[in-house]
C-alpha cells in the first residue's frame, strides 16, 4: 500500500468508525446534553470490525502477488541480516564468503566439467561404421572449417588410431578406448608417448567430460597426426643388428 493511500484510508476509517459509534450512542438514548453514553467493549469492537471491512477502505491495498513478494523480500532480508550478524565483518564479511564459495564452485566446474553418468573407462573410440584414416581426416577438416572444434578433435584422434591400425602398429580391435590406444601406440612409438596421452585426454574431455575444445586443441592433435605419419616405430633389439635407441626416426 502507498503511504498516501494508507493515510487516506486510515482517515476515512476513523471518520467512519466515529460516525458508527456516534450513531450507536444516539440509538442508546444519549443525545447531546445528557449523561455520557458508554458502549460496551464487545459491541464497539464488532462495530469497528464491520466498519473497517468495508470495501472503500481497501481500494489501495496491494494485490495477492505483491503481498507474497513483499513477504518473500522481508524473509530474505531477515535471513541476510542474521547471517551478516553471525559473520565476522558483518555484511562485508558475508559478501566475501559468498564470493569465495562461488569462485570455488566455478573452478571445480571448469576443472571437472559437467558430470556424466557414463564412465570414461567404458567409452569406445569408434562408434560407427569402419572408416579409413583418410576419411576421418577429411571429416575432421570439414568440422574445423565450420568451427566445430569438438567434432574436429574427435575425428582427428580417430584418424590417428586408424592410421596406426593401417600401418599394423596397432591391432584392429573394436571397443578400444582412446586411452588404451594411446598406451599401446606409445610402446611402438615411445618418442610420442606423452603427446599420445595428451591427445587421448583431449578426446575424452570433449566427448565424455563436457569440455569444449578450441582451435589450439585441434591444432595439437593435427600436428601429432602429421608427426606420427613421418615416424617409424622403434625396432626390437636384434632385428637389424643394432641396439634400439628408444626413439622413432623420421622417414
Judge whether 186 and 193 are in contact, CB under 8 Å. yes
Over the chain, what is the mean pLDDT?
Answer: 74
More confident residue, 24 or 90: 90
By mean pLDDT, which of 169-178, 181-190, 230-239, 240-249 is the weakest?
240-249
Q: What percent of the chain has pLDDT over 70?
A: 63
Task: Examine the pLDDT at 30 and tell me if it is beyond 60.
Answer: no
Alpha-carbon distance 173 to 160, whole Å? Answer: 14
Grid coordinates given for 150: 569438438
Alpha-carbon distance 89 to 227, whole Å? Answer: 58
Alpha-carbon distance 31 to 50, whole Å? Answer: 24
pLDDT in tens, 78-130: 877 777 676 666 667 767 777 878 887 887 777 665 554 444 444 556 656 67
Alpha-carbon distance 98 to 113, whole Å? Answer: 22
- Mean pLDDT confidence for 13-38: 54
- Mean pLDDT confidence for 228-241: 62
Q: In this structure, how many other beta carbons lie within 10 angstroms of the beta carbon of residue 138?
A: 14
Task: Examine the pLDDT at 144 and tell me if it is beyond 90.
Answer: yes
> What is the predicted pLDDT for the residue at 65?
82
Task: Examine the pLDDT at 157 and tell me if it is beyond 70.
Answer: yes
Cβ contacts of 194 within 8 Å, gap of 6 or more = none
Domain definitions of the chain by residue range:
3-58, 64-112, 125-229
Judge whether 245 and 236 are in contact, CB under 8 Å. no
Q: What percent of the chain has pLDDT over 90?
A: 26
Alpha-carbon distance 100 to 92, whole Å? Answer: 12
> What is the predicted pLDDT for the residue at 126?
64
What residues pair up with 250 in beta bridges, in sequence order?
231
> What is the predicted pLDDT for the residue at 149?
94
* Residue written as grid cell 601406440: 185
End-to-end CA distance of the chain: 85
More confident residue, 51 or 196: 196
Rg (CA), the chain: 40
By mean pLDDT, which of 22-31, 134-143, 185-194 is the weakest?
22-31
Amino acid at each position: 500500500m502507498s503511504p498516501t493511500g494508507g493515510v487516506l484510508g486510515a482517515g476515512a476509517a476513523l471518520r467512519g468508525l466515529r460516525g458508527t459509534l456516534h450513531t450507536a450512542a444516539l440509538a442508546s438514548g444519549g443525545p447531546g446534553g445528557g449523561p455520557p453514553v458508554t458502549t460496551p467493549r464487545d459491541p464497539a469492537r464488532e462495530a469497528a470490525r464491520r466498519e473497517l471491512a468495508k470495501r472503500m477502505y481497501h481500494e489501495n491495498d496491494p494485490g495477492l502477488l505483491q503481498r507474497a513478494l513483499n513477504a518473500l523480500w522481508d524473509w530474505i532480508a531477515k535471513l541476510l541480516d542474521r547471517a551478516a550478524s553471525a559473520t565476522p565483518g558483518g555484511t562485508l564479511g558475508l559478501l566475501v564468503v559468498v564470493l569465495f564459495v562461488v569462485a570455488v564452485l566455478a573452478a571445480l566446474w571448469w576443472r571437472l566439467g559437467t558430470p556424466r553418468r557414463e564412465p570414461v573407462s567404458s567409452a569406445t573410440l569408434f562408434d560407427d561404421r569402419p572408416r579409413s584414416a583418410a576419411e576421418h581426416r577429411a571429416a575432421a577438416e570439414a568440422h574445423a572449417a565450420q568451427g566445430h572444434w569438438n567434432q574436429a578433435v574427435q575425428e582427428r584422434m580417430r584418424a590417428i588410431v586408424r592410421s596406426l591400425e593401417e600401418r599394423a602398429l596397432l591391432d584392429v580391435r573394436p571397443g578400444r578406448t582412446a586411452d588404451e590406444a594411446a598406451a599401446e601406440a606409445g610402446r611402438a612409438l615411445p618418442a610420442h608417448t606423452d603427446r599420445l596421452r595428451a591427445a587421448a585426454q583431449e578426446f575424452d574431455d570433449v566427448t565424455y567430460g563436457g569440455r569444449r575444445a578450441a582451435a589450439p586443441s585441434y591444432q595439437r592433435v593435427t600436428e601429432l597426426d602429421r608427426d606420427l605419419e613421418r615416424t617409424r616405430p622403434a625396432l626390437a633389439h636384434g632385428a637389424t643388428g643394432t641396439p634400439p635407441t628408444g626413439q622413432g626416426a623420421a622417414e
